[in-house]
Structure 1
Amino acid sequence: MFIRRRKNKSGSTTIVIVDKSKGKFTELHNVGTSKEEDRILELIVLGKEWIRSKELAIQPELDLYGEEREAKSNELKAVEDVLSNIDNILINGTDLILNRVFDRIGFNEIKDEVFRKLVLSRLSYPASKAATVEYLKNHFDEDINLSRIYRYLDKLGDKQHTKVQKISVIHTREILGGSIGVMFYDVTTLYFETDLEDDLRKTGFSKEGKHSHPQIILGLLVSLDGYPLAYCIHEGNKYEGHTMLPVIEAFVKEYGLDEFIVVADSGLMNNANIEELERLGYKYIIGAKLKTEKLSIREYICSQPKIDRQMFEIDKGQGRRLLVGYTDDRAKKDAYNRDKGVRRLEKAYRRGSLSKENINKRGYNKFLDINSQIHVTINYDKIAQDAAWDGLKGYLTNTTIPTEQVYEAYHNLWNVERAFRIAKSKIEIRPMFHFTRRRIEAHICICFVALKVYKELERVLKITDIKLSVDKVMNMAKTITTIRVYLPQNKCY
């Protein structure tokens, strides 16, 4: 038996089943007639099925693999049932990890899903609030309106600020064995993409070179290993040294600290700040400004032999100790930087571009002289005098701890510097596009919590001996998907 196409005078085609027996052709079955090619192809398929059914009736097929075929059929049906009930596919691997860390710290005490989503989004997809809304919708099927987020930022005030700091401090105390011990303080500047200033956003000296942009000053207090404790926000043109004492005093009062040491860079300290720290009974370790010490101390420092990685101590009275250390590596770095700066000055001098108008006292312009005729020259005697200080670093403290511990504590300041780098590069705390004080404060609060979550995840990876960075773990997590299936009989997911 076979299929034959029979052309009709009307232009249509008839599909018939034909059998050839003893040289004679016999039409066994008329499948159908049509002028449409698609219909004709369907009729051919029907004809093949008719032939197959007749052949099986004449000679039944021995089914040796019926059970296997039935099992395969059931398997396909089961998969089809599952696929037909898939409700959504979520790319939420990062949240599966970050949610547990968020709860582990204790931030789940804040019963607010918008807050949680905004914090975790800063870590997995740092972007503008509008882009965050799209991210939540596409990855988690979370339909959060943008205006709702802005209203939320407007109400996220000092109460939330205090609460997140308390949760962070309690958790940090636990992982440090019940005591904060050493606290590190530093500041950075955060700029805005605008030319407009207000009571908070003001132009000032920018640590990021954005001198024409309005900015705010962010002060950050961290513990050993860089766990964030507290933060403060100040006007962009405020002197950095005036930002430290208020936040430390408020922090000490809030949490009843007694045994602790404040560590800060020399740029944050002046005599008034040091005297205030001592009046409050606080212990401190700060970078000393050796070149501004009185002449007798400067002469004594320069007279000491420079031996790599050795320190000596000077008693300044009133319980103050000045520790001075020298390293060959620092000396090489100081000399390299100075030579580089002098070469730049010499190049400008040869060009004739050095003038009174473009001179400031920052950098290596301190090596320039201006005579009475307003003529600028390079003073090589000052350069030689500066070289005498290569490799020297001073530390001022009112503690009684050993010299090695003073050195180690001060050089842990890199923890707060790294915290700022994480906040800027990973969490993207700046630039900011908010313009009201409440939204700026809310944004900083969210980023502070995100920084705490980042540091806790880093700690968990370390104590569980998982030799992966947080960034690598996050990138791997972004490849994880969750398939959400609806079970119609159970009426649940």
Structure 2
Amino acid sequence: MFPRIITTKRKDRTYRYLTLVESYRENGKIKQRQVGNLGNIDLYSQEEIRRLIDKLREFLHDDPYGTTQDLTTYGDKHYGIPYVVNVFWDRLGLTEFINSLLKDRQVEVDVALCTKILVLNRLIAPKSKLGVARWVHRLYLEELEGRPLPDVHHFYRAMDYLEEMKDALERHLYLQLTDLLSLKLTLVFYDLTSSYFEGTHCPLSKHGYSREHRPDRPQINIGLLVTPEGIPIAHQVFEGNVADKTTVPDAIKVLSERFEVGECVFVGDRGMITQDNLRALKEAGFRYIVGFHKRGREVSDQLLEEYQDLSQYTPLGEEGSLLYKEIPAAKVPAEDAAENEEDYLVRYILCHNPAKVAEDQAFREQALQEAEAQLQHLKEWLEKEEPRRGRKPTAKSIMLKVADLLNRKGMARFFDIDYDGNKRLNWQRNQTAIDKESLRDGKFLLKTNSLLPADQVVTAYKNLMQAENAFREIKDFIRLRPIYHYNEHRVRAHVLICVLAYLFEQWLEVLYRRHVENEIQRAKSITDNETREKELKQLKSSYRSGRRILEELDEIKAVDQQFIDKRLYSITLPGEAQKKILGVLELPLPPKVLVKE
């Protein structure tokens, strides 16, 4: 039995009728007969036809088509970030490389898969290793379908193997990224940070200078080498009490031996560059760019006095947000005689950051007011008439107290103190000293022996914050902390996983940034001024950070559903933001449906 449309004509009009036709056999021949007439099909609405079909389907004992009542939803899984990371993971050949390092060993754990899961967890919802074992069912990866999910001990074992291959893995990643991102390591940025522990038993954890203002906690130090675009290429984990300057030889060795970099410019802060490190850089064939603290002896009062006229400075780039002036080396105090024997010509560049001026002024004024409030409190305490308990304060003890509270934020030179040795304590600001200090606002000095033009030297040092941004992102978004591991190898592996996760995040940002910069160059060639300025403004506001890109991608989910007897994943439809990101990354849109086997 089947439906058929019968057409008839009446007075130049055509009518279509829906009929039910039955086939039957008679005398060995197949014939058809009409068994029902459902009326003029053109008079039915689409909804009426749909209801008719649904009503007829109620008589089916085994409906192969199903209705919305036959759809069951079980939950969703993270799909967007794994979809993208999986592509980049394969481009790096990480699974094959990790497996090749383990091919001659009896390994019962899928180290590559566990590593990928740990990296994805850092990018999506950072948790402890036990938390990852409980979370992994929320992650869609084709490799996880139809097989037992890894347990917490699988992740720990994978970390042990991963830490052993760290150096080889970093070299492999560097070589792959050199091709994929056209890296040319002419500049490298190096910085050091600390991260405190929750536990107390790791041999690496020591008390030292805490950049996180937690001197009560033992910590580790982490040195990071990054490219000018912020791509991390290598890292080292040091004990928590190591001095910054002692870590530089390791960084130089990594560049010259592991990555076989023949020539580049090493960019770092002044605390890392000693005469020994300068010699090590010279022996490796590297040049350097280092920054001096504005209150160091290199940024002398005489230097600031002579170059306070900002009209002598050159704006950096189109925005002119930074001013710089190259100054003669003779104007800067030599650190020692050994430096004058360098083969490379040393240059100095004095920089002025107008945006930093207001910040420095506000910081100093707040410190001055806090010091005055403490002095006022001390003055009122001295003037109290009631007898005091305990030892009577002496003039010496009072002046020591005054010195202590003024020296806490370096305010001593900004106040003139008058104390009569008894109850009268007065003070006033030393405006001459304050005016002299204001010459330092927004200033910093760069020293280099590179052959780069002055503007490129300043830009390179300005980009040193790429390393600082990397540390900030690894700590805040990738969640390096809390660190509970007490096994040294697993602490190192934990840091490696965090750096790997940041590598993928930054890779996405670099590709998106390059795309926007190419579009900006194209827009600059537009002849119509109004159109050009409008498009440039839109493009400059369209930059996306790696974190923002990940947040957008995480909106794409794999919804676990069952329709009649078929289990499937329905992929949520990417929005315009996700389509834009995938287009920039040159990735196809994900499939609408994935059938579960």
Q: TM-score, normalised by structure 1?
A: 0.75
- Deviation track 1:149-184 (CA, whole Å, cap 9, x = no partner) reads 22332333232x113312331233225535211100
Deviation at 1:67, TM superposition (A): 8.5
- Confirm or deny that 1:427 pairs with 2:473: no
How do residues 354-393 of structure 1 correspond to structure 2 at under 5 angstroms?
Answer: 355=401, 363-365=409-411, 367=413, 380=430, 382-393=433-444
- Confirm or deny that 1:237 pairs with 2:314: no
Deviation at 1:82, TM superposition (A): 10
Q: Which residue is equivalent to 2:77? A: 91
Instruction: Label 1:241 to 1:421 Cα distance change in 2 as closer, same or farther (>3 A).
Output: same
The range that moved more, 78-87 or 282-291, is 78-87
How do residues 123-138 of structure 1 correspond to structure 2 at under 5 angstroms?
Answer: 123-138=123-138
How do residues 281-296 of structure 1 correspond to structure 2 at under 5 angstroms?
Answer: 281-289=285-293, 291-293=295-297
- Confirm or deny that 1:184 pairs with 2:189: yes
Aligned partner of 1:402 among 450, 453, 457: 453
Aligned partner of 2:306 among 303, 306, 311: 303
Q: Which residue is equivalent to 2:385? A: none
> Given that residues 172 and 180 in structure 1 are in contact (C-alpha distance below 8 angstroms), is that contact kept between their aligned partners in structure 2?
no
- Confirm or deny that 1:475 pairs with 2:551: yes
Q: Which residue is equivalent to 2:509? A: 458
Q: Which residue is equivalent to 1:205? A: 209
| Secondary structure of the structure 2 residue equivalent to 1:211 | coil
Distance 1:360 1:251 in 2: 45
Instruction: Label 1:62 to 1:154 Cα distance change in 2 as closer, same or farther (>3 A).
Output: same
Name the amino acid aligned to 1:315: A
Distance 2:451 2:271 in 1: 23
Name the amino acid aligned to 2:127: A
Name the amino acid aligned to 2:325: M
- Confirm or deny that 1:251 pairs with 2:255: yes
- Confirm or deny that 1:351 pairs with 2:356: no
Instruction: Label 1:173 to 1:138 Cα distance change in 2 as closer, same or farther (>3 A).
Output: closer
- Confirm or deny that 1:80 pairs with 2:126: no
Q: Which residue is equivalent to 1:445? A: 496
Instruction: Label 1:416 to 1:79 Cα distance change in 2 as closer, same or farther (>3 A).
Output: farther
Name the amino acid aligned to 2:369: R
Distance 1:136 1:368 in 2: 59
Instruction: Label 1:414 to 1:80 Cα distance change in 2 as closer, same or farther (>3 A).
Output: same
> Given that residues 92 and 139 in structure 1 are in contact (C-alpha distance below 8 angstroms), is that contact kept between their aligned partners in structure 2?
yes
Distance 1:231 1:301 in 2: 37
Distance 1:197 1:361 in 2: 36
Name the amino acid aligned to 2:550: M
> Given that residues 216 and 236 in structure 1 are in contact (C-alpha distance below 8 angstroms), is that contact kept between their aligned partners in structure 2?
yes
- Deviation track 1:92-150 (CA, whole Å, cap 9, x = no partner) reads 32312221222233333334211111111110111111211111124447622112222
Instruction: Label 1:83 to 1:205 Cα distance change in 2 as closer, same or farther (>3 A).
Output: farther
Distance 2:294 2:91 in 1: 45
Number of residue equivalences:
428
- Structure 1 stretches of 5 or more lacking a match? 1-59
Distance 1:300 1:148 in 2: 61
Distance 1:216 1:361 in 2: 29
Name the amino acid aligned to 2:500: V
Name the amino acid aligned to 1:255: F
Distance 1:288 1:100 in 2: 43
How do residues 258-277 of structure 1 correspond to structure 2 at under 5 angstroms?
Answer: 258-277=262-281
Distance 1:445 1:83 in 2: 48
Q: Which residue is equivalent to 1:166? A: 171
Deviation at 1:248, TM superposition (A): 2.3
Instruction: Label 1:452 to 1:148 Cα distance change in 2 as closer, same or farther (>3 A).
Output: same
Aligned partner of 2:469 among 411, 418, 427: 418
How do residues 44-123 of structure 1 correspond to structure 2 at under 5 angstroms?
Answer: 63-64=38-39, 69-70=52-53, 77-80=63-66, 90-93=76-79, 94-108=81-95, 109-111=97-99, 112-123=112-123
Deviation at 1:218, TM superposition (A): 0.8
| Secondary structure of the structure 2 residue equivalent to 1:187 | strand
Deviation at 1:254, TM superposition (A): 1.3
Distance 1:280 1:67 in 2: 81
- Confirm or deny that 1:329 pairs with 2:333: no
Name the amino acid aligned to 2:501: A
Identical aligned residues as a percent: 22
| Secondary structure of the structure 1 residue equivalent to 2:210 | coil
> Given that residues 356 and 376 in structure 1 are in contact (C-alpha distance below 8 angstroms), is that contact kept between their aligned partners in structure 2?
no
Distance 1:164 1:125 in 2: 24
Instruction: Label 1:133 to 1:252 Cα distance change in 2 as closer, same or farther (>3 A).
Output: same
- Structure 2 stretches of 5 or more lacking a match? 1-34, 42-47, 100-111, 312-322, 331-339, 382-399, 517-541, 568-594
Q: Which residue is equivalent to 1:143? A: 149
Instruction: Label 1:89 to 1:110 Cα distance change in 2 as closer, same or farther (>3 A).
Output: farther
| Secondary structure of the structure 2 residue equivalent to 1:396 | strand
Q: Which residue is equivalent to 2:390? A: none
